[in-house]
Amino acid sequence: MNSPRTRTLRLLTANIQAGSSTRRYSDYVTRSWSHALPAGRKRSSLDAIATLAREHDIVGLQEADPGSLRSGFTNQTHYLAQRAGFNYWSHQPNRRMGGVASSANGLLSKLEPVEVQDHALPGRIGGRGVLLAKFGDGADGLAVAVAHLSLGAGSRMSQLGFIAELLSDHPNAVLMGDFNCLAERPEMQVLYQKTRLQPPGCIVPTFPSWRPDRAIDHILVSSGLQTRTVEAVPAAFSDHLALAMAIDVPADALR
């Protein structure tokens, strides 16, 4: 049972692959058309993700289409906010692919943020970003960042250094997203050294969704936040499992 001075928040991070379906490695070739065209089961996939999302308080999305051809010009973050009952949402378009597909980070929240910041991330190839939402008042307020990092270790090093600077002054912080790397990788150390974020307490594989053996999606929380539960759950037909976590947050951090 919570003490009067804490509140349990249910968090979720999900790379939704723009609602596409990937159930085996061969699908990357045989279903490659679904990454450019609006056909397929994208709407039913989004509805399944909305059903999952509505059980949580704050949701971070990666690879949400912001309204290009492949999604039928639907802003998928907005669609999920409406379907899942989130009053507050924000998105960050960050990559365009061939003029027919776009990708974005997204944030869904049942709590009203004080501020949401949109930051471009450094990298050898541009187009990555981080969303930073702030809740509560003052220095002890909760900061929640959503990011999708690069495949290359060098670019990830620069990106994680940038994020570490953003979160270094926040004692109550959460960083979640698709990191494209394991939590113990050398480039991750800058987060643990320059912020209060901690390595995950347990390893939860999330990729590939049909036979997960790599933990590359993470929810990192600062040392003052207590983790209650963490589990991987299907995100419709995405090639990533979603990661769900319940944490106890000081009530003062949400005022």
pLDDT in tens, the chain (255 residues): 555 589 999 999 999 998 876 665 555 444 444 555 555 577 889 999 999 999 999 999 999 998 777 677 789 999 999 999 999 999 998 866 655 567 899 999 999 999 999 999 998 887 899 999 999 988 889 999 999 999 999 999 999 999 999 999 999 999 999 999 999 999 999 999 999 999 999 999 999 999 999 999 999 999 999 999 999 999 988 999 999 999 999 988 887
Instruction: Please give the C-alpha separations between residue 139 and each of 65, 74, 193, 255, in angstroms, as whole numbers.
Output: 33, 37, 19, 12
Query: Which CATH architecture best describes the domain 8-254?
Result: 4-Layer Sandwich (3.60)
Rounded distance, CA 109 to CA 89, Å? 6
**DSSP helix/strand/coil, 232:** strand
The model carries a pTM of 0.91
Biggest CA pair distance of the chain? 54
The counts of H helices and E strands in the chain are: 5, 11
Instruction: Please give the C-alpha separations between residue 76 and each of 20, 40, 55, 176, in angstroms, as whole numbers.
Output: 12, 15, 18, 19
User: End-to-end distance of the chain based on CA atoms, in angstroms?
Assistant: 20
- Res 99: pLDDT: 56
Helices 76-84/42-53 angle, 10° precision: 50
